[in-house]
Structure 1
Amino acid sequence: MTQKNKTSELKKYLAEMNEEALRAEILKLYQKLPQVKDYYNQDLMSESERQAMLDTYKKKVYRQFWTPSGNPKDPSNAEIKTLVAEFEKVAAFPYDVIDLLLYRVELTTEHANEFGGAADANYNASTTMFKKAMKLIQANGYLSYFRQRIEALFRFDNLDYWYIMDLENVYEELKGEN
């Protein structure tokens, strides 16, 4: 059966339930599935609690670039991708996901700028995250909120030029679609 058929069946199933049964179903999912619990917990968080959760993930991403003593290290793109994916599963708001994605790009850019470049794999992983961030920005109409942070990325000068050009091209292409 296709995904669309399953979605139709679920909609039909839910439509047949009364309000009390729907509430029971949501509580059952909340108690049984950690991702559902995390999603609703974030949705019910205050702004400061959501920010604290985002900051926790930012610290984890930061630790991929720098040791606890502040020395640089070669980031694990796989670990960063896992951290971002974890956060995406529990983030209730696209704004927070975009913030984390851009933070990853900022760290790559600052790290490379400070040390005169980075491995192509790090640049490519960063560019992929930037594309994802830009698509979310475009889909949610958040360009005005993130424009300053994005354009600051293009001011670094101690990098492999093609990386910044890639970021600028993605930005210009998706910005033009708004």
Structure 2
Amino acid sequence: MSKRALKKYLAELRQEELADQLMDLYDRFPVVKEYYDFVFNPKEDKMVQEAKVKISNEYFPVKRKRPKARRSVAQKFIKHFIKLGVEPQLIADVMLYNLEIAQAFSADKNVPDAFFKSMLNSFTEVVQYISINGLLSDFKERIVQIFETTHNQKWPNEEEFSRALDIID
């Protein structure tokens, strides 16, 4: 069904029929429920804290022995937050937190090259996101700290991190 056809169909419905359909969608689809829960009661800080705990658990697990160190967990939260319309400052905070926790992890562990490439992608994304949303003044210190940590830990793709910073300039 096209958007135009949907608009026409919805315009023909009475108020109570439309309300019934929305309630049905709310009951059937968890995504719709989550959207409306967020719209009417946006507990953004709580959502961000939960995301940070889960991201941290990827690198420093509490219940299992081995860390999984998957970037995809953080990316999933970030995309979800963007889709919901969470404040850009909070999204940038989660993006930077992901890099900071990954760097803390890599300081002690021998990680594969794919890890460094993945973190470079995350760094490039956060620098672009912060630049686009005009948040540089809020997060410049953290970005510089992440860059300096790549230098101090002698990451193999340190030069690419430097190029990613050129976006800001």
Instruction: Please confirm whether the aligned pair reaches a TM-score higher than 0.5, indicating the same fold.
Output: yes
Query: Identity of counterpart residues, as a percentage?
Result: 20
Kept after mapping to 1: 8 A contact 2:74/2:95? no
Q: Distance in 1 between matches of 2:165 and 2:9?
A: 41
Q: Does the alignment pair 1:171 with 2:162? A: no
Q: Give how far 1:159 is off.
A: 2.9
Kept after mapping to 1: 8 A contact 2:59/2:69? yes
Q: Does the alignment pair 1:68 with 2:62? A: yes
1:136 corresponding residue in structure 2: 129
- 26, 33, 55: which is aligned to 2:29? 33
Q: Give how far 1:28 is off.
A: 5.5
Q: State the superposition RMSD in angstroms.
A: 3.6
Q: Given the superposition, is the C-alpha separation of residues 44 and 37 from structure 1 closer, same or farther in structure 2, using an over 3 Å criterion?
A: same
Give the letter for the 1:127 counterpart. Answer: L
Kept after mapping to 2: 8 A contact 1:102/1:133? yes
Residues 10-159 of structure 1: matches in 2 within 5 Å?
13=8, 16=11, 24=19, 29-45=25-41, 49-68=43-62, 73-112=67-106, 114-115=107-108, 118-156=111-149, 157-159=152-154
Q: Give how far 1:68 is off.
A: 1.4
Deviates more, 1:91-100 or 1:120-129: 91-100
Kept after mapping to 1: 8 A contact 2:81/2:91? yes
Kept after mapping to 1: 8 A contact 2:58/2:68? yes
Q: Distance in 2 between matches of 1:29 and 1:139?
A: 34
Q: Distance in 2 between matches of 1:137 and 1:28?
A: 38
* Structure 2 gap segments, 5+ residues each: none
Q: Distance in 2 between matches of 1:7 and 1:131?
A: 35
Kept after mapping to 2: 8 A contact 1:108/1:123? no
Q: Give how far 1:30 is off.
A: 4.1
TM-score (norm 2): 0.72
Q: Give how far 1:44 is off.
A: 3.3
Deviates more, 1:137-146 or 1:91-100: 91-100
Q: Distance in 2 between matches of 1:27 and 1:96?
A: 30
How many residue pairs get aligned? The number is: 166
Q: Given the superposition, is the C-alpha separation of residues 135 and 34 from structure 1 closer, same or farther in structure 2, using an over 3 Å criterion?
A: farther
